[in-house]
């Protein structure tokens, strides 16, 4: 379970980072490009992913 949480957390953090980069216009080719919503939600999603990964890392068993 620990490895699963760590993996899921890393994937969620990477997606949050991608959403942020699309929201601020660094990554193009998507309806999410240059959208304020994703430039705000992206870091929040990335932070949630980091928290999940840390919990998975610190979990016993």
pLDDT at 59: 81
Tokens of 55: 């919990």
CA distance 48 to 45: 5
pTM, whole model, 2 decimals?
0.90
* pLDDT tens readout for residues 7-20: 999 999 999 999 99
CA distance 16 to 21: 9
CA dihedral of 41, 46, 50, 52, whole degrees rounded to 10: 60
CA distance 59 to 43: 24
pLDDT at 61: 60
Structural domain boundaries in the chain: 2-58
Tell me how far apart the terminal alpha carbons of the chain are, to the nearest angstrom. 8
* pLDDT tens readout for residues 17-57: 999 999 999 998 989 999 999 999 999 999 999 999 999 99
Asked whether the predicted pLDDT for residue 2 surpasses 80, the reply is yes
């Amino acid at each position: 379970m620990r490895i699963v949480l760590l993996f899921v957390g890393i994937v969620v953090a990477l997606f949050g980072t991608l959403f942020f980069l699309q929201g601020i216009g660094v990554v193009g080719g998507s309806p999410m490009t240059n959208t304020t919503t994703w430039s705000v939600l992206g870091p929040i999603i990335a932070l949630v992913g980091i928290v999940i990964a840390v919990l998975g890392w610190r979990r016993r068993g």
